[in-house]
Structure 1
């Protein structure tokens, strides 16, 4: 179990620091339904990440080699995921804004003020497990868990839970700050939102490059 958590932890941190979901939570916390929307978003996010990483880990872990080690195809899968992460890193870097200008936010952000808790939960699911960047990281995490503890269902389930908890820390932190300080958090949250929107592409490019290197190395080691 320790190996599975250790192998997947860097990928969980990659999901944790993904800027756009954090920005979404911050925007919800300054809307009329701040508490209910933010909690619904976090719940949707956590359950989506847990479901995807758990399913991937269990499915990949069911295919073990004759010597009870990771199957060779998990190594090839890691190589493919590493290449995809690398390509995504290059794309993010090329799309980064120049200068100090703040890039226009996605159109869905403008509608957050009108969100209800069910829509907030749905957005959490979309950003946590459907968004291509996060989906690649979560699938990579599930593959890493499976390769570390193949065939051990209990260890796999616990490692998937730890992965989802760590991956959710980024969207939970603004909610904790809001509940702890109330209206005083508005200024801090707004500064956080502006900084993350402005630096979203650069943050993700560097992060994806590091994680792509890790996945490629892990894939080569399996093969």
Structure 2
């Protein structure tokens, strides 16, 4: 399991520093339903990542991965996923705000104040496992774990560790809120502003690094 965890950790870091989910959580934590919506969002995030990643790992293992010699399809999939991550990096860089411009906040975030716990949970699932960047990363992690070990228990254990590391970006702000309550508002607002301002640069760098890694791992399997 150690090998599976080690190989998936760089991908987990890519999910961890996703700016927009952190911004969404912060907006919930400064709303009237902060406690319930924050809890629902974090729960949805954790469930979405773990279920998707575990499903991919188990399917990949059932299709013949997890042996000493990874199948050709697994190597090809890594190359394809890496190429898609590089394309997202290009898109992120092109979409960055120009000099002197303020990075816009997505319009859908304006509705977060009106969310209930169920909508917050669904938003956590969507941002954790369905948005294009995280979807590619979690699928990449599931494939990586499946090619590192064929033991189902080890795969699920590695995915649990991956989910925890990948979730630190939302768990830390949520933990700050639980410990300090309303006093966390100023700090959380600062985190939100920094994440919005640097979203494009952060994501471009991460996507390039992870995309190159996935392509390299795939080519190295031949």
Partner of 2:138: 138
Partner Cα distance (1:121, 1:101) in 2:
33
Partner Cα distance (2:93, 2:65) in 1:
38
Deviations 1:161-182 (A, max 9, x none): 1111111111111110111112
Give 1:7-156 correspondences, 5 Å limit: 7-64=7-64, 68-149=68-149, 151-156=150-155
Displacement after TM superposition at 1:66 (Å): 11
Aligned residue pairs total 222
Kept in 1, the 8 Å contact 2:81–2:136? The answer is yes
Kept in 1, the 8 Å contact 2:66–2:147? The answer is no
Partner Cα distance (2:184, 2:57) in 1:
38
Displacement after TM superposition at 1:221 (Å): 1.3
SS in structure 1 of the partner of residue 167 of structure 2: helix
Moved more, 151-160 or 79-88: 151-160
Deviations 1:27-70 (A, max 9, x none): 00000000100010000010000001001111112233796421
Partner of 1:216: 215
Partner Cα distance (1:183, 1:69) in 2:
53
Partner Cα distance (2:144, 2:21) in 1:
23
Kept in 1, the 8 Å contact 2:36–2:117? The answer is yes
Kept in 1, the 8 Å contact 2:40–2:121? The answer is yes
Kept in 2, the 8 Å contact 1:63–1:71? The answer is no
TM-score by length of structure 2 reads 0.96
Partner of 2:173: 174
Partner Cα distance (1:214, 1:67) in 2:
21
Kept in 2, the 8 Å contact 1:65–1:72? The answer is no
Moved more, 44-53 or 163-172: 163-172
Partner of 1:160: 159
Moved more, 11-20 or 99-108: 99-108
Partner Cα distance (1:102, 1:218) in 2:
37
Partner Cα distance (1:67, 1:4) in 2:
13
TM-score by length of structure 1 reads 0.96
CA-based RMSD of the aligned residues comes to 1.3
